[in-house]
Amino acid sequence: MNPDILRERQNATFDIEKLTNILDGGAERTNRRREIREVLVLNDPDFDYGTPTSLPTMILKLREYGISDPVEINWYKSMYWGTGREALGLHYVMFLPTLYTQCDSEQFNKWVPLIIGTYAQTEMGHGTHLRGLETTATFDPATQEFVMHSPTVTSIKWWPGGRNPLFLPLIFLSIPLSASLFDLFLSGFALPTCSGIVIGDIGPKFGFDAVDNGYLKLEHVRIPRENMLMKYAQVKPDGSYVKPLSSKLTYGTMVFIRSLIVGNAGIVLSQCCTIAIRYSAVRHQSEIRAGEAEPQILDYQTQQHKLFPLLATAYAFLFAGQYMIDTYNRISGDINQGDLSEMPELHALSAGLKAFTTWTANTGIEVCRMSCGGHGYSRSSALPDIYVEFTPSCTYEGENTVMMLQTARFLMKSYRQVQAGQQLSGAVSYLNKVHHRVMAPQAVSSQLDLNLNTLVDLYEIRAAMLVELAAQSIQQESARGKCQEDSWNNSTIDLVRASDAHCHYMVLKMFRDKVDQIEDPGVHSVMSTLAHLYAIHGMGNFTGDFLQAGVLTGAQVPSVSKCLKGLLAEVRPSAVLLVDAFDHHDKMLNSVLGRHDGNVYEAMFEWARSSPLNRTEVHESFHKHLKPLQAKL
């Protein structure tokens, strides 16, 4: 083991295993995750790491081991495929959940065990604006069929992932059967027998290469009436239409995957922090004091300033992910029972946190890569691949700006309710105080009150202020004679800013609540330090907001920076131990820089030598192209 890494792991001030258990949701979950990893994957003789041929093996193994829990499926898949996406991702996280949530019982029993499918909602002309989708589904009572059709070039289904060129069970979203409703269809087209179908691949992408994203054009293709997913809405044999309790129930799968993406952003950021911090512990470069040995780059304050706030953010997002999934499970359970009362709140929370966490993680991956210098740009670090695979999460499952505006819609509605004298509950209850809060600068000392509860309060006031400013912008636009829609559009910068601040407050509050639940003194102490770091770092980035909200004075601003530097120094001794607690296996991380043993250079040389370009002493291109040219010169 590299001596630097060895030294970093001595004198631990907290129990790493207990922190890993907290991240997993308990010791039993940690044990089960490791059992799946060590026994069912790594020690399985059939396991052929990450090669395409192992995809069928993986599916059969999941069935052989009886792994059906979505979290356990993901543990198994992530061991198989490491940090990359794989072709079945969409099947497991969108196609199956849609069947689970939108099929009636007869359809469920008929389809769920049997098929692998995709989710074809987006069209060439519309991905965000679902009410603009053009694919039609016209019911023919005479034959009891729906006629599916792509009337325009922009209506061609574009992007469905993992579409199988031979068999196409896919979930469709087609334009309204009635005024403003959408419906989902399962269409099992067996090619090439089924005429009227034109399918293909949309061509090379930025990345995401393990997933074949395709296109699908339908020319009056007929499917049985029974293929409409009929849990919430039905078309009867006589063509009459039974409306769902809410037209937004059709959007349920997107809310589910957005909820998953929140925790996934934390996982991806934790992977990158593991790589960058372990590498920064073994990399020596330049000098701090003339004549002394080159220091670990982790001892540079700028390196700590790059990485430790991201480390705190990774923990914050992992805890936010746990909260999001728990909230999703609770509210979707109520929805299943016909209680839709909290559906708007679930939508606003999942949409906002999906955007907030993916934007932050997306930027964070690049900071981690660049903090590793040239070796971060090598594919051996895994960081370029992680970035390429993660960055579309800011676009898919709801483009981030649009998602932030959905949250803003809920915040404005809540603000108007407060103005009308209603008492709010849930995540926006802090708006109840928006009219009674003293916004004038408080007479505070130049020292910052570091109490975590106080910091959460300051973020709450900041969010409330920005919600009020956005609402005032809309009111001012209206007062200038703008229609409601233009008033909204002319305030969307403020609205996104308000949603961002609301999400930032929510994530800090979740982090504080999780820290409060930690009983082990050592773990509580180090997690409390990270939560403080997360809050103070955010204050440093958005100082203007806190000054404008009157919760920070000019005299206190220097203490924000001073406090930040102190917290970086406090995290430094535990940094490697904190990434060890994420418990990412070398095989899954697949990074020469992030190896658990820290033996980076030896591994990098072996990795380079294994490159296809090094298979022969002299590359064949010399003999094929250069040598003949030399002979002519």
Please give the positions annotated as active site. 397
231 binds, among ligand FAD, ligand LFZZZEXQ, none (CB under 5 to 8 A by kind): none
582 binds, among ligand FAD, ligand LFZZZEXQ, none (CB under 5 to 8 A by kind): none
Look-up of token digits 């999460």: 393
248 binds, among ligand LFZZZEXQ, ligand FAD, none (CB under 5 to 8 A by kind): ligand LFZZZEXQ
122 in a labelled binding site:
yes
Query: Which residue, 492 or 599, is less far from ligand LFZZZEXQ as judged by CB?
Result: 492
401 binds, among ligand LFZZZEXQ, ligand FAD, none (CB under 5 to 8 A by kind): ligand FAD
Question: What's the start-to-end Cα distance of the chain, in Å?
Answer: 53
Q: How far apart are CA 594 and CA 613, in angstroms?
A: 24
Query: Which residue, 303 or 414, is less far from ligand LFZZZEXQ as judged by CB?
Result: 414
Q: Would you list the DSSP string of 409-461?
A: HHHHHHHHHHHTTPPP-GGGGGGGGTTTS--SPP---SS----HHHHHHHHHH
Look-up of token digits 């069935």: 63
Quote the least distance from Cβ 89 to ligand LFZZZEXQ, whole Å. Answer: 4
Quote the least distance from Cβ 132 to ligand FAD, whole Å. Answer: 9
Quote the least distance from Cβ 360 to ligand LFZZZEXQ, whole Å. Answer: 16
- Largest Cα span, the chain: 90
Report strand pairing: 145-149 vs 183-190.
unpaired
255 binds, among ligand LFZZZEXQ, ligand FAD, none (CB under 5 to 8 A by kind): ligand LFZZZEXQ
Q: How far apart are CA 32 and CA 73, in angstroms?
A: 12
In the chain, DSSP finds a helix count (H) and a strand count (E) of 25, 11
Query: Which residue, 108 or 251, is less far from ligand LFZZZEXQ as judged by CB?
Result: 251
160 binds, among ligand FAD, ligand LFZZZEXQ, none (CB under 5 to 8 A by kind): ligand FAD
CB 47 within 8 A of CB 41: yes
Query: Which residue, 406 or 574, is less far from ligand LFZZZEXQ as judged by CB?
Result: 406
Quote the least distance from Cβ 608 to ligand FAD, whole Å. Answer: 30
Quote the least distance from Cβ 237 to ligand LFZZZEXQ, whole Å. Answer: 29
93 binds, among ligand FAD, ligand LFZZZEXQ, none (CB under 5 to 8 A by kind): ligand LFZZZEXQ
Quote the least distance from Cβ 433 to ligand LFZZZEXQ, whole Å. Answer: 23
- Which residue ranges make up the site for ligand LFZZZEXQ (CB under 6 A)? 74, 89-90, 93, 119, 121-122, 127-131, 161, 248, 251, 254-255, 257, 260-261, 264, 343-344, 347, 396-398, 402, 406, 409, 413
Rg over alpha carbons for the chain, rounded to the nearest Å, is 27
Query: Which residue, 128 or 517, is less far from ligand FAD as judged by CB?
Result: 128
Quote the least distance from Cβ 92 to ligand LFZZZEXQ, whole Å. Answer: 8
Q: How far apart are CA 162 and CA 119, in angstroms?
A: 9
| Burial letters 568-605, b for 16+ CB under 10 A, else e | bebbeebbbbbbbbbbbbeebbbbbbbbbebebeebbe
- Which residue ranges make up the site for ligand FAD (CB under 6 A)? 90, 119-122, 126-128, 159-161, 208, 213, 392, 395-396, 399, 401-402, 405
266 in a labelled binding site:
no
Q: Is 499 exposed, middle or buried (0-12, 13-18, 19+ CB in 10 A)?
A: buried
Query: Which residue, 14 or 172, is less far from ligand FAD as judged by CB?
Result: 172
Return the H-helix or E-strand segment holding 372.
none
Instruction: Please report the sign of the dihedral spanned by the C-alpha atoms of residue 539, residue 540, residue 543, residue 547.
Output: positive
Report strand pairing: 183-190 vs 167-174.
antiparallel
CB 581 within 8 A of CB 23: yes
Q: Would you list the DSSP string of 203-249?
A: ---SS-TTS-EEEEEESSEEEEGGGB--SS-EE-TTS-EE--S-GGG
Query: Which residue, 261 or 507, is less far from ligand LFZZZEXQ as judged by CB?
Result: 261
Q: Would you list the DSSP string of 58-85?
A: HHHHHHHTT---HHHHHHHHHHHHTTS-
Quote the least distance from Cβ 325 to ligand LFZZZEXQ, whole Å. Answer: 9
Other C-beta atoms closer than 10 Å to the C-beta of 61 total 18
Query: Which residue, 264 or 280, is less far from ligand LFZZZEXQ as judged by CB?
Result: 264
**Is it true that the peptide bond before 192 is cis, omega within 30 degrees of 0?**
yes
344 binds, among ligand FAD, ligand LFZZZEXQ, none (CB under 5 to 8 A by kind): ligand LFZZZEXQ
Binding residues for FAD: 122, 161
Binding residues: 122, 161
